[in-house]
Structure 1
Amino acid sequence: MNIKHILPALLTIGLLTSCEKDLLETVPNDRISSDIFWKTEKDATLASNGLYPSLDGVNIFAIDGVTDIAHVNQVFQVESNIEKGIHDALNSRPQTEWTSAYRGIRLANDFLGNIGTVETTNTAFIARLKGEARTLRAYQYIKLVAMFGDVPLVTTSIGIDEGRALKRTPSAQIWDFVLKELTEAANDLPAVQTEKGRVTKGAALALKARAALYAGRYQEAADAAKAVIESKTYSIYPSYANLFSYAAENNSEVILDKQFIKDTYSNNVFANMGPYSQRTANNTYVPTKALVDAYPMANGKEITDPTSGFDPKNPYANRDPRLRASIFVVGDDLPDGKKFDSRPTSGTADAVGNTYLATSTGFVLKKYINKEDLATGGNCGINLILLRYAEVLLTYAEAKIELNQIDASVYDAINQVRQRADVKLPALETGLTQAQLREAVRKERTLELAFEGLRLYDIRRWKIAEKVMVGDVYGMTYVDGAQLKTIQIASFTRVFDPAKHYLWPIPQKERELNPELTQNAGW
């Protein structure tokens, strides 16, 4: 049974009405009174279910959408200003992420503050649910620190007055808290949950590895990732092409996902990210030439290598299979059975320039775009993967490389990702230097995890954003007559100021509500 099948019950719980003699004492109809809740194990389970909707959903595409691998397709979207480096503390994307994360934290704090009143002798059950809540709260803090740096660390339920007096906690202290929380939570969580979608021991440890990597605490990152690897609970799913399909939901590689169900608790990934020609889809964030060109040939050689066999007139032939598994390119089959052709001269609905809603780069995301959602693009039931085993392997490898603890296990971790059954890139050449391996693992993260909501954090912690997030934005190269032409986004230049843009500004609304919140440098 999946947790997504339980969520509808939580969302539709009714209320007991008051006695007729107390007609003037009305009961809110949008919540359950604590006087009648927090009594039974069922109450605890329902409350725990209510924590999961705060996990990231389609916003992961917006987070990747403001990096070098993507482009905000309509220039009037607020995220476009982030690309151009002209956003400020009023931009709604940082505000949305801040609000969503702290909502999840508040729910977890309320849960942890109340679960002790549940009447049960099943201490393992309570410990498990507390472990889930602590892990989900840590998930939010990892995001917040990666986005904003120092943020208020709130670990209990607080009132309005307390909220208006919160100060920012140094990020090092938050990393200490997160790593400790995840370590302790893992001890109370099972390796496998009966209900798919619930947090497991592996999820807590994998998040610990991610947090430690982001914090630059490489030994802790390597150790946590190694614990996940040695648990033998997860494995690389053999088909990258099918990894993001309905048929592959809850597969051996998924460590944490957000579960959805069509018609009841759905998402709009198809409408948000699919090709414009597919009815309700509108390509909100589109892949760039920088990403597409990064995929090597199937023989492992870069397309810039004159011996690679790359043909600029047939640019998608014999490439890393993850390219066509991740991105719609000219000639691919669309969900409606037609061929994708975004060339400006194609005359199709997807042609660059056909409409401002069609892709501006000539590329469209293919991950999560399933034919099952063609008729109802705004009502999708596909689960969105937030953490998978491939990331753990790459985290382990990167941490070991940064520690200069290079051994066979580092090569093995990277090669497991490169040599997935339907990818089969050549194994890395042995004897590489630390710098060469660093480049290799970063490249694998870029390609393997594209559009999974991690790229923004990667280019920030690697301090490469001022190199990759500047200048013009380019799209596909295509043959027009006898000439090769490359799409360039008109009148659009990316700007990244390393003095300020490595952190988002603390949202202005939050600072108006709480004058104690200081602003990040440069904002």
Structure 2
Amino acid sequence: MKSTYIKISLLVCLISSFYSCDDYLDILPEGQENSENFFNSPSDYEDALVGVYDLLSTTYLNNILAEIASDNSLCGGDTPTDVLDWQQIDDMVHTADNGALRNIWQWMYAGISRSNYIVEFKDKIDFEGKDKILAENLFLRSYFYFELVKFFGDVPMYIDGRISVEETQTIDRTPTAQIYSQLETDLLTAIESLPWSQPQEGRVTKGAALALLGKIYLYQNKFSNAVVVLDQVIDSGQYDLVNNYGQIFINSNENNEESVFEVQYFGGEGASFDCFQCVEGNIAVGFMGPRFTGGNFAPFTSGFSFNVPVADIFNLYESDDTRRDHTILDMDQFLAERPDVTISEGNEHTGYFNKKYIPYAEANIPDVNLTHSNNYRSIRFSDVLLMAAEAYNRGEISDAQARTYLNRVRDRAFNDMGSGAHDINLSGTALTDAIWLERRLELAGEGHRFFDQVRTNQTNTIPGFNPSTHVLFPIPRIEIELAGNRWQQNQGY
């Protein structure tokens, strides 16, 4: 919904300790619409749904932290204290007082609260197309809850409607298994009413819901279930790999045939350093760009040099793997080709930058560093193929099918055009390792790596990682206090 920007009134805001309603919420004058007399027309439901979509923009933080926390990248920035919350996560010294983690907690619950407002009044009126709106809403709520579970594990779950301040002090953390069960139920319900394609780019489709469900199954090692739903996406004929890997992430090729679900960003309005939740642009992009100081560095523009890839990931690619140079910008090579360009190296300079989400020069306002229009490719078809390959292999269902899906991704990476020159012919655990390696290479820089490492027990390469503590992030301390100190903190914090 890149072209749509609305301000949601206080009626969408959950007045609770889970999050605060900041200045992105406009309070209506007395006597105008309120939460109880809303939802009187299809457009009311549609407007409220746009409000739920709007909170997807805040997931830029989830995605950049999932790379910084992994072995793919260092935090970077200007100095070792630049955005200290991110630096602490990179160094694995974060605590329950980390502000970035609290932002994730608040913003994901803000999305859930907006979604639950629709759920509370889902039966108020009937109209054609309501089932699809409710299905999109269930997907979005599942998306926000899945993000919370990945970061924090057991979290308070409420699904029936808004919640009062008093009720927040009576809710316990819900076991992860119970949350996953609810998400499975919600997504299966949503799938029934979702179309394979939508008239507006960025809206949830049947394929997106099937893919998210497949990922949730994979995170629980429910491999047979994952195969069933992921194969539906693969066999649907709705998606395919973009022939040229380098074309996937350019701004002129958004919502392409490889995009199963894509978070829409708009560079024309919204956001400031005083209101990150007001964002309509992709904040992470500006933070990840090189700090150019002079010369002609078009088509790129300058950034703040965060989330810098390490040499290990650059060197992991084979020399003829086309993905490397479209995933990572080699600054030494770039500067050698443009001797007039200068940069400020900054903290933890590795010489590499995330090229998938690099800032392009564009007419972005009001702050060029915060409102870049690069969409976030949340679920790509190659991700679906690799998830299905893993499920077929680890579920001991069919290594042959797993290899077919894996090699389909590799054929594109090496421009093999079906020749099989770089095909993997392994089986068993060796094939598992090959699939996991392929996920790292294919999805580097896209915010999946840390959680892939955690779920597959490959965290030994993360500097400072303590497996008895860092599998989950801490529940924000202030949220525990606001909930009456009834929640036990995650282990190690």
Q: Same fold (TM over 0.5)?
A: yes
Cα deviation for residue 408 of structure 1 reads: 2.9
How is 1:88-237 mapped onto 2 (pairs within 5 angstroms)? 88-118=95-125, 120-122=126-128, 125-156=129-160, 157-237=162-242
The 3-state SS of whatever aligns with 1:115 is coil
Q: In 1, distance between residues paired with 2:208 and 2:157? A: 22
Residue 66 (structure 2) aligned to one of 52, 56, 63 = 63
1:365 to 2:372 alignment: no
Match of 2:346 in 1: 356
What is aligned with 1:305? Answer: none
Q: How does 1:296-335 map to 2 (within 5 A)?
A: 296-298=318-320, 320-330=321-331, 332-333=333-334
* Separation (CA, whole Å) in 2 of partners of 1:504 and 1:371: 33
**Partner residue of 1:419?**
411
Could you report, residue by residue, the CA deviation over 1:5-38 in whole angstroms, capped at 9, with x for unpaired residues?
2x22x238899xxxxxxxxxx9449x95235531
CA spacing shift, 1:246–1:84, aligned 2, 3 Å:
closer
The residue number in structure 1 matching 2:7 is 11
CA distance in 1, matches of 2:329, 2:145: 34
- Once residues 35 and 442 of structure 1 are traced to their aligned partners in structure 2, the CA distance between those partners, rounded to angstroms, is 50
1:373-384 → structure 2 map (5 Å cutoff): 373=362, 376-384=368-376
Counterpart residue identity of residue 236, structure 1: L
Could you tell me whether the CA contact under 8 Å between 1:326 and 1:367 is conserved in 2? yes
Q: Quote the Cα distance in structure 2 between the aligned partners of 1:35 and 1:405.
A: 51
Q: Distance in 2 between matches of 1:104 and 1:372?
A: 30
Bigger mean CA deviation after superposition, 325-334 or 281-290: 325-334
Q: Equivalent residue for 1:520?
A: 490
Q: Which moved more, 1:240-249 or 1:270-279?
A: 270-279
Q: Kindly state the Cα deviation for residue 106 of structure 1 after the two structures are TM-superposed.
A: 0.9
1:104-159 per-residue CA deviation (whole Å, 9 max, x = no partner) reads 111111111123223x442xx11111111111111112111121111111112211
SS class of match (2:262): strand
Query: Could you give the per-residue CA deviations for residues 474-499 of structure 1, whole angstroms, max 9, x where no partner exists?
Result: xxxxxxxxxxxxxxxxxxxxx11111
Alignment check: 8 A CA contact 1:240 1:423 kept: no
Alignment-derived partner of residue 467 in structure 2? 498
What's 2:478 paired with? 509
Q: Distance in 2 between matches of 1:406 and 1:284?
A: 41
The structure having more radius of gyration, on CA atoms, is 1
Distance 1:340 1:90 in 2: 44
SS at match of 2:47: helix
> Following the alignment from structure 1 to structure 2, what is the Cα–Cα distance between the partners of residues 14 and 518?
31
Provide the rounded CA distance (Å) in 2 between the counterparts of 1:340 and 1:454.
Answer: 33
Shift of 1:85: 2.4
Contact 1:239/1:422 (8 A) holds in 2: no
Deviation at 1:271, TM superposition (A): 2.0
Q: Deviations over 1:157-202 (max 9, x none)?
A: 2111111221011111111111111111101101111111110111
Asked if 2 retains the 8 angstrom alpha-carbon contact of 1:254 and 1:389, the reply is: yes
Which position in structure 1 is the counterpart of 2:449?
455
The one-letter amino acid paired with 1:185 is A
Deviation of the 1:205 alpha carbon? 0.4
The 1-side partners of 2:211 and 2:410 are apart by 20
Match of 2:89? 82
> Where does residue 45 of structure 1 map in the other structure?
46
**2:268 equivalent among 260, 263, 272:** 263
1:328 is matched by which residue type in structure 2?
Answer: L
* Residue 410 of structure 1: how far off its partner (Å): 1.2
- Alignment of structure 1 residues 402-481 onto 2, 5 Å: 402-420=394-412, 423-424=415-416, 426-430=421-425, 432-465=426-459, 467-470=460-463
| RMSD of equivalent CA atoms | 2.5
Q: Secondary structure at the match of 1:420?
A: helix
Q: What is the rounded CA distance, in whole Å, between the counterparts of 2:29 and 2:444 in structure 1?
A: 44
* Identity score, percent: 29
Contact 2:210 2:232 in 1 (8 A): yes
Q: Could you give the per-residue CA deviations for residues 217-260 of structure 1, whole angstroms, max 9, x where no partner exists?
A: 11111111111111111111112111111221110011111112
Aligned partners of 2:291 and 2:338: how far apart in 1? 10
Cross-structure match for 1:302: none
CA shift in 2, pair 1:384/1:391, >3 Å: same
What are the Cα deviations for residues 269-295 of structure 1, in whole angstroms up to 9, with x where unaligned?
A: 442111111654111110011211211
Task: Tell me the amino acid that sits aligned with residue 369 of structure 1.
Answer: I
Q: 2:308 aligns with which of 270, 286, 311?
A: 286
Q: Would the aligned equivalents of 1:238 and 1:421 in 2 still touch at CA under 8 Å?
A: no
* SS at structure 2 position matched to 1:72: strand
Q: Residue 215 of structure 1: CA displacement?
A: 1.5
- Alpha-carbon displacement from aligned partner over 1:286-310 (angstroms, at most 9, x marks no partner): 0011211211232xxxxxxxxxxxx
CA–CA distance in structure 2, aligned partners of residues 355 and 201 of structure 1: 44
Q: Is the 8 A contact 1:270 1:373 kept in 2?
A: no
Whichever residue aligns with residue 324 of structure 1, its letter is: D
Give the SS at the match of 1:328. Answer: strand
Taking the aligned partners of 1:12 and 1:144, their CA distance within structure 2 comes to: 23
Q: Distance in 2 between the 1:64 and 1:373 partners? A: 25
Give the residue type in structure 2 aligned to 1:448: E
Aligned residue number for residue 383 of structure 2: 391
| Structure-1 separation of matches of 2:152 and 2:9 | 36
**Residue 94 of structure 1 aligns to a residue in which SS?**
helix
Structure 2 alignment gaps of length 5 or more:
12-26, 270-279
C-alpha spacing 1:323/1:340, structure 2 compared with 1 (3 Å):
farther
Cα 1:349–1:147 shift into 2, 3 Å: same
Task: Give the total of aligned pairs.
Answer: 447
